[in-house]
Structure 1
């Protein structure tokens, strides 16, 4: 089944500008759309439609940095028929409008913004650790708590580590997804479109309740695979060599996937 899903994902990357339907995507996997949807979600953690949307926004970020096409033209080139829909989805996923993302990234500036608002809910400490294989060079690890499996929007909490070790995230009660990326510390002077994560890590869906002991989160960094969703927003502090306090971490414009 994994080969079938990978074939469908390859179709998304190759034909993201087309109005692909679920039937068309499932046909490339040679599966019924209902069975395909279930298998796809089990393997990737999200639906085919959400995965395709992430691919389109990822490609839009690349075009914004590497071309001089207008935002309107880019929206059509990545499969959107409405500029308004594209702009709202891009802004929600990246936490910046397309135009501001392009301007700040090209100027090499940092958008200083905090983590997501906790909506007045009580916060709980989630303890964990991440293990990364020895790569023979300095690395920085970004760990964040997100509302969805897709790394998009502002993380509700984040921590920056200089290598493997423990972390603590203060998150409100609710369901969260812990995600991490390992990048080479020497990549910081490179242009944003040349930066790539060396490794990624993800934990299971985590339900946090006040007064309940939350089990520690154990993350193991690994190489990216075809089943990994594109990272739409950088984990905070990605492109700055300076370390920041968790309550004042800047969210850098470019993404971990080099867009």
Structure 2
């Protein structure tokens, strides 16, 4: 998928490459990645589209074809559903270092009637890692990281974090980026390590056990989490990143 995302890949073709039936392949793939082959391929295409939007001046139409979509409308609707912004607006805001917190589905702050619950946790880095890092921790509605997190926090090193999330089921994910990548804009930073927590069901009034994350190297089964979190750093005119802690949001 990573090598041939621009092609009209079918489940049969992908499964045949693995010399498995499509039913068995789908089951194994979901066990390894937490999602279906079709959704993973879609996420790969959208991730590549984000890179092209931010790193090139190609038109949205040309980008849609380059990442495997034959219909501009289909590409635009899927991109907007995933990112909560249209491709053109995503390009404009991300390049300007701005966050559109007030528009798009699933981007409105939780109102006072909806209670949030604190989820505490820790993130551990490999002992052999000898460099300064910045860590992004977010809670998402699905194991496949797309769109905005419902809550997030930025750490300047291993340690404790707290996410204030609404009641529901969430997936905690983290990306570790070298501090030397700054002040490069978010889309040019590449995660050194990632971390994943188990499915977490949050209920008000219940003391939830702490989430313990251990960072590990990226593999081909991981999607680049950082490009799903471009708004975690706000970049000013000088290019300096300003860490921020986001409140819980109602959508992904």
Query: Is this a same-fold pair by TM over 0.5?
Result: yes
Equivalence for 1:233: 228
**1:85 matched to which residue of 2?**
74
TM-score where L is the length of structure 2: 0.85
Cα RMSD (Å) of the superposition? 2.3
- 2:158 is aligned to 164
Q: 1:1-259 counterparts in 2 under 5 A? A: 12-106=1-95, 108-111=96-99, 113=101, 117-118=109-110, 120-134=113-127, 135-231=129-225, 232-234=227-229, 236-238=231-233, 240=235, 241-247=241-247
SS at match of 2:82: helix
User: CA separation of 1:236/1:143 partners in 2, compared to 1, >3 Å: closer, same or farther?
Assistant: farther
Closer, same or farther: CA 190–247 of 1 in aligned 2, 3 Å: same
Q: Deviations over 1:125-172 (max 9, x none)?
A: 111111112532221111110001122111111111111111111111
- Whether the 8 Å contact between 2:60 and 2:88 is mirrored in structure 1 is yes
Aligned to 1:160, the other structure's residue is in SS state: strand
Q: 1:189 to 1:48 in 2, by over 3 A?
A: same
Structure having the higher strand fraction is: 2
Secondary structure of 2:220's partner?
A: coil
Secondary structure at the aligned position of 2:8 is classed as: coil
* Cα 1:199/1:238, change in 2 over 3 Å: farther
Alignment CA distance shift 1:13-1:244 (3 Å): closer
Q: Secondary structure at the match of 2:118?
A: strand
Unaligned runs of 5+ in 2: 236-240
Q: State the secondary structure of the residue aligned to 1:63.
A: helix
Deviations 1:32-67 (A, max 9, x none): 111111100001111101100011111112222333
Q: Secondary structure at the match of 1:215?
A: coil
Secondary structure (helix, strand or coil) at the match of 1:159 reads strand
Distance 1:97 1:36 in 2: 33
Distance 2:93 2:205 in 1: 42
